[in-house]
Structure 1
């Protein structure tokens, strides 16, 4: 049988296929052996290994079960998601990995509601807009919405993280999806603010030059008290773990909180905005 040489550097999909073959051959399995264990055809396994067919979530979970990689950092499901979310900015998939186990989450957003607070309808409107502009493909639009739902679900646990959110006033003034979608989204913010592990503040327009960030900012405190920062521009994202670089950002966030409205005043502004929605 001819054995094609694989080039894992050709693309993320090629790297996936090459690693699949490497793990299979390390166990002296044929493609038929793996196919039987994963409950797929040998033709399908061959096509994935050789890059003729892209991996799917179901296939990735099946081979993870076969190789004993479920829930690990080396899982094929994780590699699949990195391939699928290739349109996401650099550093973001890695940031999400930490987000799901953070003890504290601090967010600052401009223009749109932070993802972790978005309703499915609001998130779908944003994804559909990106689709219409040709930024993403249809399957990526659906994946963005489901990916966000998974991020939100990861925060529902016996000991949920403390979440401190500061939103620029533009987040609640910019109507996304029409009055019905926006009204439900503002109602979701009110529900979020009532939770015992949350603080929600609005940075009003009149904060002026006292606004400490010009771009969205995410800060995570992990269980070992280390802090990770993630920030992004229109074209790129950056994950920062070095303490010397992160601590000034944490200080700036505290200064922003001091300048922002209190939660009570913030909710009054949000409720005022809700009056213009159903």
Structure 2
């Protein structure tokens, strides 16, 4: 039977729904997989596939699961509504066959997020890059050994991400902390960097953006180990997610305690960084204004 099987990659919403159902079983219902399957009258395999996004789950099945977990009222209604829209695909799915799965997953999460708290250590945040900066950064840092066509595709995707972010009806809030070294590292040429500084100044003026610089004189701080992004979503039942990227792969952190640690670290870094006004002044100096 293929009607309920996931014959194509799951959408971001289907993954989030599956993750939340698993989390509710483990942390709220305190039930093992076998116990839940027995209460539902399902096989253990069926429930396991649902929780791992390998099988589609219908709104009616979500209701059955929540009833076993004794979850009702507004929380149950919200999850069932979410299940009805979980199969909807977004613009990022067009890139599913041409880009690494980690990257398309991130684009989907970013597009769904209500807010992003992003720390950038080595290079400027992708949502804030100019096309020239993105091209040079991708070619020389992120995809140094990739074919030119792959680099161009990645840059085009980044520009599409920025367009989708800027055109959202309810703009995603972006709190970006950028390390001073990323601002002073010349990517491309001085002209490329000047245009990049002007772009950051323009974005920092938006009502949904807060931009701060982490100065070198701040000394040691939690972000010295690498860049990361904490993402929050509009559905209150959906846990926050942390995204950590390296040269060849990405890590998604959903464990509540670990996410909390990253969130506290980011807030601490915000207190250590230059104020938005001081950060803007630095950008203006760098741009030669």
What TM bracket, shorter-length normalisation?
A: 0.5 to 0.7
- Unaligned runs of 5+ residues in structure 1 are 1-14, 17-70
Q: 1:154 aligns with which of 154, 161, 164?
A: 164
Provide the aligned length of Structure 1 versus Structure 2.
203
Q: Secondary structure at the match of 2:285?
A: helix
Q: Secondary structure at the match of 2:178?
A: strand
Instruction: Give the match for residue 163 of structure 1.
Output: 174
Query: What RMSD in Å do the two structures reach over aligned CA positions?
Result: 2.6
Q: Where do 1:26-105 residues align within 5 Å?
A: 78=93, 81-86=95-100, 91-105=102-116
Separation (CA, whole Å) in 2 of partners of 1:188 and 1:76: 25
1:111 Cα deviation from its structure 2 partner: 2.1
Q: Where do 1:107-256 residues align within 5 Å?
A: 107-129=118-140, 133=144, 135-155=145-165, 156-225=167-236, 226-256=239-269
TM-superposition CA deviations, 1:6-31 (whole Å, max 9, x none)? xxxxxxxxx98xxxxxxxxxxxxxxx
Q: 1:195 to 1:93 in 2, by over 3 A?
A: same
Q: Secondary structure at the match of 1:189?
A: helix
Q: Secondary structure at the match of 1:100?
A: helix
- Unaligned runs of 5+ residues in structure 2 are 1-6, 9-85
1:233 Cα deviation from its structure 2 partner: 2.6
Separation (CA, whole Å) in 2 of partners of 1:121 and 1:106: 24
Separation (CA, whole Å) in 1 of partners of 2:143 and 2:214: 31
Q: Is the 8 A contact 2:231 2:240 kept in 1?
A: yes
1:166 Cα deviation from its structure 2 partner: 0.1
Q: Secondary structure at the match of 1:264?
A: helix
Separation (CA, whole Å) in 1 of partners of 2:155 and 2:257: 35
Instruction: Give the match for residue 258 of structure 1.
Output: 271
Separation (CA, whole Å) in 2 of partners of 1:260 and 1:128: 29
Instruction: Give the match for residue 45 of structure 1.
Output: none
Structure-1-length-normalised TM-score: 0.67
1:113 Cα deviation from its structure 2 partner: 1.0
Q: 1:102 to 1:150 in 2, by over 3 A?
A: same
Separation (CA, whole Å) in 2 of partners of 1:75 and 1:196: 25
Separation (CA, whole Å) in 1 of partners of 2:150 and 2:219: 37
